[in-house]
């Protein structure tokens, strides 16, 4: 008999982020090994079978993600879903994840937490400066307490394992990398055609970003740097994602900029880009960057999380200081002018992902660990 596995997460369709992409790959590759059900927030779209939807709060949200509504109905649904499971596989880090861990521990269920980000770093940008230290310390303590109620924690890279252990996490920490489908994410065979299909003039240089438009992603810095570039009439900024209106408004008001909202065919938008930028202040793996590299793009990134390990300066990408729009603009202008460098970085980026990152290998390892 297949074990009953509950996949609990703080995100779901129509929002497509790194966590959801992992869930898609996991569901696709383990459906014959587990009897899987989902515990997720209802964000406007119902999809799939065996899904328990939780009602979000209409009052409070972080980075465009509404918090969970604290209602009897939601708590009952969480308790019931946990009680019926053999294994609780949590994708955090927000209230659904932490409540799932709490009830799984209470009901003595095998609990595995896959942390896709560092909770206290994620929330750092959303509190007023005077309250920042107080709330961050509280979130850190609550997070570590939750982590220590789990049977095991998966992390996508080794440095994160060291950081969590140093912060006080005593639960067993296991490295399980994220991956990329290199057949889906591949270089464009005809860049001109890829641009035209999206309604972008094929003669324009397309600078792109994939992900949430939010404070912790530092997307406003990208807009500032883009506006510094000369010959704006020959450029297009392509933002594949969405966020709060307060964050997206200025992008949408920029003439040579497109904000797509969340899309299900990210690969088609990457094929239309010439340069990819990840300006984030905090990341773990950055699946978006891996997918851009698999698509043969030259990437310009900040030195955060695992990015600083797999991006090698001058070989498969370029770095810039995370708070300098001027230096980001210089790096982008260099790639715009030097086609040879842009193409060489893109080719090496593709090689890096094809050689070192694979969903098949990653999911197989996670499956073995869950069944252990």
8 Å CB contact between 169 and 144:
yes
pLDDT interval class at 111 (50, 70, 90): very high
Average pLDDT of span 246-260: 94
Indicate the helix (H) or strand (E) that contains 207.
strand 205-210
8 Å CB contact between 113 and 97:
yes
Average pLDDT of span 309-320: 97
The DSSP-derived string for 279-332 is: --S--SS-HHHHHHHHTT-EEEE-S-TTHHHH--BTTTEEE--TT-HHHHHHHH
Which residues are within 8 A (CB) of 280 and not within 5 positions of it... i.e. 6 or more apart? Answer: 211, 216, 217, 218, 286, 302, 304, 322
Which residues are within 8 A (CB) of 231 and not within 5 positions of it... i.e. 6 or more apart? Answer: none
Task: State residue 8's pLDDT score.
Answer: 98
Q: Which of 118-132, 143-157, 289-303 has the lowest mean pLDDT?
A: 118-132
What's the burial of 94, exposed, middle or buried (CB within 10 Å: 0-12/13-18/19+)? Answer: buried
Nearest to 226 by CA among 213, 215, 218, 236: 236
3-state secondary structure labels for all residues of 337-368:
HCHHHHHHHHHHHHHHHHHHCCHHHHHHHHHH
Average pLDDT of span 177-196: 95
Task: State residue 26's pLDDT score.
Answer: 95
Average pLDDT of span 133-141: 82
Q: What integer best gives the mean pLDDT of the chain? A: 92
- Tell me the pTM: 0.83
Q: How far apart are CA 206 and CA 200, in angstroms?
A: 9
User: Model confidence over 278-293: pLDDT tens digits?
Assistant: 999 988 899 999 999 9
Q: Two tokens at 220?
A: 């406003």
Task: State residue 361's pLDDT score.
Answer: 85
Domains and CATH numbers, the chain: 4-179+358-371 (3.40.50.2000), 191-356 (3.40.50.2000)
What's the burial of 238, exposed, middle or buried (CB within 10 Å: 0-12/13-18/19+)? Answer: buried
Query: Residue 133 pLDDT > 90, yes or no?
Result: no
Q: How far apart are CA 185 and CA 346, in angstroms?
A: 13
pLDDT interval class at 131 (50, 70, 90): low
CA triple 75-76-81, angle to 5 deg: 100
């Amino acid at each position: 008999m297949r074990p009953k596995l509950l996949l609990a997460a703080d995100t779901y369709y129509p929002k497509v982020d790194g966590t959801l992409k992992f869930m898609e790959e996991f569901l696709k590759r383990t459906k014959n090994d587990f009897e899987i059900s989902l515990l997720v927030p209802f964000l406007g779209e119902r999809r799939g079978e065996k899904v328990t939807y939780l009602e979000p709060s209409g009052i409070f949200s972080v980075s465009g993600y509404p918090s969970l509504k604290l209602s009897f109905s939601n708590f009952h649904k969480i308790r019931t879903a946990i009680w019926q499971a053999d294994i609780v596989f949590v994708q955090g880090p927000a209230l659904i994840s932490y409540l799932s861990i709490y009830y799984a521990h209470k009901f003595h269920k095998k609990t595995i937490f896959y942390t896709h980000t560092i909770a206290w770093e994620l929330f750092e940008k959303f509190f007023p400066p005077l309250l920042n230290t107080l709330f961050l310390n509280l979130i850190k303590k609550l997070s570590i307490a939750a982590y220590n109620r789990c049977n095991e924690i998966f992390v996508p890279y080794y440095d994160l394992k060291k950081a969590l252990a140093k912060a006080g996490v005593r639960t067993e920490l296991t490295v399980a990398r994220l991956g990329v489908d290199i057949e889906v994410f591949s270089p464009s065979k005809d860049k001109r055609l890829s641009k035209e299909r999206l309604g972008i003039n094929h003669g324009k240089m397309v600078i792109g970003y994939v992900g949430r438009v939010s404070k912790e992603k530092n997307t406003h810095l990208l807009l500032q740097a883009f506006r510094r570039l000369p010959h704006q009439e020959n450029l297009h900024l392509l933002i594949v994602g969405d966020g709060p209106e307060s964050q997206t408004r200025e992008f949408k008001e920029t003439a040579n900029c497109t904000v797509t909202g969340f899309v299900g065919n990210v690969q088609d938008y990457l094929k239309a880009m010439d340069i990819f930028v990840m300006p984030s202040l905090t990341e773990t793996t950055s699946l978006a960057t891996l997918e851009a590299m698999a698509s043969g793009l030259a990437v310009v990134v900040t030195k955060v999380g695992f990015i600083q390990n797999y991006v090698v300066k001058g070989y498969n990408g370029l770095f810039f200081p995370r708070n300098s729009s001027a230096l980001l603009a210089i790096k982008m202008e260099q790639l715009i002018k030097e086609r040879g460098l842009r193409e060489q970085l893109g080719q090496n980026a593709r090689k890096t992902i094809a050689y070192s990152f694979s969903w098949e290998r990653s999911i197989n390892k996670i499956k073995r660990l869950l069944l252990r």
